[in-house]
């Protein structure tokens, strides 16, 4: 499932507007059945407490998060109605559905065919259409050589790529955008942050070289993680990298443009804290605001979006970037 297997599930048609169809009588029941059949195929994992929590998140939790926070944030700088969106890392379709609900014309890409099947079933169950493609993100430019998008979104995707895949995916998608279009990254852990709450649940984990992090993973409290990487093989190393490694502003400068030329127009973390005073108070009380301030003092010209726990930011393509 981690190969570069490519398959077109629906032929991309990013210029075709979407008209909602009749939803299923019980959309969540349809989605649950599809998730169990396509995605949660490990019965032991699904029966565990962590598996049930994961299923609940995929079933509806992630969609609600996107409705409450992500979609309003995207709409704050680019209305979604009619927007041609390329979503890379669509997973089981929670974000794809919400984008479609807001009127976006969505082409969704994921490396896992099982995820794409579940995502397609989710959208159809709720009465929406999207185009789906099973592909490695490093190959999207080849699949869309003459297609124009208003927004390209990497949704919890960059952290699951190898370095070379990330290079190709970031460089190529940036080149695909016309001036005025947006390049967006959501939920990618920041390599600069002091704690990894994405993969290993360990302090300073993203700071470690990959091989050291691989060996140190045995100290993680996370089940279905620490016991997998006790012995090193090339296959396990690739599996480990795809579980999630941090990304920082350095890749943006290497693969897109110098940071002074990148027009960062919005940061999801700042957007949420401005709307939710309790979240701002938590940010200050936890000490996270102080740590972010230290990072900015170390690199004063760095946009605040690059000193958050995760990279959740939007960049507008300009004629010079």
Q: Environment class of residue 108 by beta-carbon count within 10 Å: exposed (0-12), middle (13-18) or buried (19+)?
A: buried
What is the C-alpha end-to-end distance of the chain, expressed in Å? 36
- Give 261's contacts (C-beta < 8 A, 6+ positions apart): 318, 320, 321
Assess whether pLDDT exceeds 90 at residue 300.
yes
At 223, is the pLDDT very low, low, confident or very high (cuts 50, 70, 90)? Answer: confident
* CA distance linking residue 229 with residue 199, whole number of Å: 13
Q: Considering the entire predicted model, what is its pTM?
A: 0.92
Percent over 70 (pLDDT), the chain: 94
List of long-range contacts for 303-307, beta carbons under 8 Å, 24+ apart? 303/259, 303/262, 303/264, 303/267, 304/267, 304/270, 305/264, 305/266, 305/267, 305/269, 305/270, 306/190, 306/192, 306/248, 306/249, 306/252, 306/259, 307/190, 307/192
Assess whether pLDDT exceeds 90 at residue 21.
no
pLDDT for res 22: 87
Kindly report the average pLDDT of the chain as a whole number.
93
Assess whether pLDDT exceeds 60 at residue 309.
yes
pLDDT for res 18: 56
Assess whether pLDDT exceeds 90 at residue 109.
yes
Assess whether pLDDT exceeds 50 at residue 198.
yes
Phi and psi for 151 in degrees, rounded to 5?
-140, 130
At 321, is the pLDDT very low, low, confident or very high (cuts 50, 70, 90)? Answer: confident
* CA distance linking residue 300 with residue 262, whole number of Å: 15
Residue range 267-279: mean pLDDT, rounded = 97
Residue 47's CB is within 10 A of a number of other CB atoms, namely 10
pLDDT for res 35: 97
Assess whether pLDDT exceeds 90 at residue 6.
no
Given a contact cutoff of 8 angstroms between Cβ atoms, the answer to whether 244 and 159 are in contact is: yes
Phi and psi for 15 in degrees, rounded to 5?
-95, -5
Residue range 54-81: mean pLDDT, rounded = 97
pLDDT for res 120: 97
Assess whether pLDDT exceeds 60 at residue 15.
no
């Amino acid at each position: 499932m981690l190969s570069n297997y490519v398959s077109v599930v629906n032929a991309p048609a990013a210029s075709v507007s979407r008209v909602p169809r009749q939803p299923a009588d019980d959309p969540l029941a349809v989605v649950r059945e599809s998730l169990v059949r396509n995605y949660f195929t490990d019965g032991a994992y699904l029966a565990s407490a962590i598996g049930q929590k994961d299923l609940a998140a995929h079933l509806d939790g992630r969609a609600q998060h996107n409705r409450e926070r992500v979609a309003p944030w995207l709409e704050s700088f680019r209305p979604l109605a009619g927007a041609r969106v390329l979503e890379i890392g669509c997973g089981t379709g929670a974000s794809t559905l919400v984008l479609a609900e807001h009127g976006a014309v969505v082409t969704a890409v994921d490396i896992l065919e099982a995820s794409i099947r579940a995502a397609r079933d989710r959208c159809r169950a709720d009465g929406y259409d999207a185009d789906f493609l099973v592909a490695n993100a490093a190959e999207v430019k080849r699949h869309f050589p003459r297609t124009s998008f208003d927004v390209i979104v990497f949704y919890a995707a960059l952290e699951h790529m190898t370095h070379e895949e990330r290079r190709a995916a970031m460089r190529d998608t940036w080149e695909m955008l016309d001036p005025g279009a947006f390049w967006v990254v959501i939920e990618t852990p920041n390599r600069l942050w002091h704690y990894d709450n994405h993969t290993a649940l360990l302090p300073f984990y993203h700071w470690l070289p990959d091989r050291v992090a691989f060996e140190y993973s045995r100290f993680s409290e996370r089940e279905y993680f620490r016991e997998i990487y006790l012995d090193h093989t090339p296959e396990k190393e690739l599996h480990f990298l795809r579980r999630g490694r941090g990304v920082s502003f350095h890749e943006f400068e290497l693969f897109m443009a110098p940071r002074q030329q990148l027009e960062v127009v919005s940061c999801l973390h700042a957007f949420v804290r401005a709307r939710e005073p309790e979240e701002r108070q938590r940010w200050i009380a936890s000490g996270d605001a102080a740590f972010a301030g230290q990072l900015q003092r170390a690199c004063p010209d760095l946009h605040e979006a690059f000193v958050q726990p995760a990279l959740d930011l939007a960049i507008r393509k300009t004629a010079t970037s």
